């Protein structure tokens, strides 16, 4: 598959119904790996999700695209890896024409009234989150679940996002009701961890 030939099914938002709880897991997935699967599993279980959208980005605005595999290839690799039918692989951001999460989330919110969304990201993302476009508006759109990652366990102590929104932190024992909280609300989820990274896989280091 090439970037020009992304199957249509991936370019529209997955189908959801009012009342559902849906996790939004955005990533480059260049390539996808078992660490991503572990995040998805933990999120489904701990957040009480009905669905998790595995959102393959057209390109992280903060990363160089020089080593980025085509969108079609990253979707195909994800589809091969993911077995859980609750996980929906999608690349609808490509059709939106913007790689920015703030834009994506406001679009999702406007199109899916009555659906409860939670943004999901690995703990390493906290380090640069304040450089994401309109990062404060992202925090105020949907609750956020941060999943622990080796090397980033203490990132919440120094992150600008977590310090700014310290008052909005929810105990991880309440992760199952995070979706009910009005944003801003976030939690840090500890649990089994994977040291896998796409960078190491690209370098051939395990
Ligand atoms: N091993 C892991 N444990 C926890 N979270 C992870 C892990 N790998 C990736 N993530 C999270 O998954 C999302 C997508 O990550 P991404 O596709 O960039 O993978 P990556 O391994 O971090 O890639 P790269 O090494 O190229 O930066 C991000 O929120 C990231 O924090
Ligand atoms: O909106 C932004 O400015 C922004 C900046 C960096 C990353 N993101 C999003 O964060 C998600 C994780 O990206 P990555 O490359 O770390 O897998 C993915 O959905 C990106 O589109 C978004």
ipTM over 0.90 threshold: yes
The alpha carbon of 32 and the centre of ligand 1 are apart by a number of angstroms equal to: 9
| Domains contained in the chain, CATH given | 13-194 (3.40.50.620)
Q: What angle do CA 84, 90, 92 make, to 5 degrees?
A: 165
pLDDT band, very low/low/confident/very high, at 108 (cuts 50, 70, 90) = very high
**pLDDT one-digit tens code per residue, 114-153:** 999 999 999 999 999 999 999 999 999 999 999 999 999 9
Q: Which of 184, 180, 168 is nearest to 49 (CA)?
A: 180
Pocket test residue of 30, 35, 39, 57 for ligand 2, highest count of atoms within 8 A of CB = 57
Q: Does the beta carbon of 63 lie inside 6 Å of ligand 2?
A: yes
Residue 204 has pLDDT above 50, yes or no: yes
Q: Does the beta carbon of 14 lie inside 6 Å of ligand 2?
A: no
Which atom of ligand 1 lies at the shortest distance from residue 35's CA? Answer: 1
CA distance 38 to 191: 10
Counting ligands in written order, the one closest to the CA of 57 is 2
């Amino acid at each position: 598959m090439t970037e020009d030939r992304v199957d249509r099914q991936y370019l529209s938002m997955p189908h959801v119904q009012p009342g559902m709880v849906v996790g939004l897991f955005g990533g480059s997935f260049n390539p996808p790996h078992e660490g991503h699967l572990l995040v998805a599993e933990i999120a489904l279980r701990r957040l009480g999700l009905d669905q998790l959208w595995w959102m393959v980005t057209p390109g992280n605005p903060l990363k160089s695209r020089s080593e980025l595999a085509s969108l079609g290839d990253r979707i195909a690799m994800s589809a091969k890896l993911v077995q859980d039918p609750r996980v929906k692989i999608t690349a609808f951001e490509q059709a939106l024409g913007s790689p920015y999460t703030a834009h994506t989330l406001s679009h999702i919110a406007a199109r899916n009234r009555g659906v409860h969304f939670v943004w999901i990201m690995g703990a390493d993302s906290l380090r640069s989150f304040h450089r994401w476009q309109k990062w404060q508006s992202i925090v105020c759109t949907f609750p956020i679940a941060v999943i622990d990652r080796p090397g980033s366990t203490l990132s919440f102590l120094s992150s600008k996002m977590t310090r700014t929104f310290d008052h909005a932190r929810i105990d991880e024992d309440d992760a199952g009701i995070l979706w009910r909280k009005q944003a801003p609300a976030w939690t840090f989820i500890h649990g089994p961890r994977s040291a896998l990274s796409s960078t190491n896989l690209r370098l051939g280091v395990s």
